[in-house]
Structure 1
């Protein structure tokens, strides 16, 4: 049984970053719930525990202690970035005291590759930090920053439920690959070719790269009314 502790950042009186009419706490919860639902629907022997499932206050020490006491195999914290409106893109963090050859870093490398292959955000790279939830958890831990809420381009994506679903799927793809999760029998029948990645190229520029067929269709639908050319290409 793979035990995932899933942590939607902020909540309650702590809104997190804000911008463009959005609040980080709402987006992190939305993405995390989608991750949970995908894992529970599509995979065998996965147990997901969340630090919160609604808009409540939860201290950092509560989150790390809860994960430690539960005996989680992996701690995944979902966040949205903010700066001054000029920065944009995706980045993720492991604890600053770990080496690049550590098990946590190896899991991070897989997660980073899978998430950035589908999230349509500029890649700001793999980072390290002394964040509480990375330092005080006793299992491998990763914190993902899924775009900048105060950047107009990133925020436009955050308002699209299809994009939020794609981001969740990127995280799930990473977890499945890093921890060798087995798909449920009915899901194997439906998605037997799910390892194949397809690029969606709009007017000569790659719009995204997707494994899930529905994400390919969503990308085509988003651009159908305005593009002169849409090409789907197997990677």
Structure 2
């Protein structure tokens, strides 16, 4: 399956803004997490992103690139804004499509999986005449992952663990929609997690995540209870392959986190 993954806005176009956040940054973070989950855990999936950094790209450039590449699906990641009072999640397909179309079927599946995990009000499945939905030659969907100018939704957006859950919801929907298969290894019942620090202070854990992300190492905070105490553990990847985990560990250590290690867990 060839996925064209489009984090909306970027560069000179910040998108919606609110509560100290810029939409372009949230879109990119979620999209990178979607890409990493797919490439790390699934076979026969190719992902082309419209941008992997804070760069400017026109809508025409995005759809032209997806069409030329021959993508099977176009997924645009966005956040919403209104007047501070609206909140929740919604997604869109093109307004010309019927409810029985293939694209609508994909929307039904992905929507259901995302709302299982995103802790947002479900605003429903919608249709619109957006450029990326109209000009893409493959099935396309655009998701609006909360309202950045709403205090409730913005508080979630600031949490990297929430952004990881949102990414996982999209991936779960893609897996079901396109029947993509998880990678098979000799130790499929084991996951290898890269732990880049454990802290009793959530603030310290968030600082570590911010540093890793500044080094282009995707990470998030996982809250765990150990001997009755709450710890905030920074995870910088999870792999079904020990070899892939070792490679990521080397990258993390080279970034200066010399006490990072691999945690093996049965699943």
Q: TM-score, normalised by structure 1?
A: 0.81
SS of 2:84 mapped into structure 1: coil
Q: Distance in 2 between matches of 1:104 and 1:177?
A: 13
Q: Distance in 1 between matches of 2:77 and 2:131?
A: 14
Stretches of structure 1 that go unaligned for 5 or more consecutive residues are 192-214, 226-235
Q: Distance in 1 between matches of 2:223 and 2:166?
A: 13
SS of 1:164 mapped into structure 2: helix
> In structure 2, what is the equivalent of residue 38 of structure 1?
37
Aligned-CA RMSD value: 1.9
Larger radius of gyration: 2
- C-alpha change, 1:29 and 1:220, in structure 2 (3 Å) is farther
Deviations 1:8-60 (A, max 9, x none): 00000100000000000000000000000000000001000000000010000
Tell me which of the two structures has the higher relative contact order, counting C-alpha pairs closer than 8 angstroms and 6 or more residues apart. 1
> In structure 2, what is the equivalent of residue 24 of structure 1?
23
Q: Structure 1 stretches (4+) deviating beyond 6 angstroms?
A: none
Q: Distance in 1 between matches of 2:111 and 2:8?
A: 18
Deviations 1:98-154 (A, max 9, x none): 000000000000000000011000000000000000000000000000000000000
Deviations 1:175-234 (A, max 9, x none): 00100010011484337xxxxxxxxxxxxxxxxxxxxxxx9x74989xx98xxxxxxxxx
Q: Distance in 2 between matches of 1:83 and 1:218?
A: 32
Q: Distance in 2 between matches of 1:190 and 1:92?
A: 34
> In structure 2, what is the equivalent of residue 131 of structure 1?
130
Q: TM-score, normalised by structure 2?
A: 0.71
> In structure 1, what is the equivalent of residue 242 of structure 2?
none
Stretches of structure 2 that go unaligned for 5 or more consecutive residues are 192-219, 231-267
- C-alpha change, 1:176 and 1:218, in structure 2 (3 Å) is farther
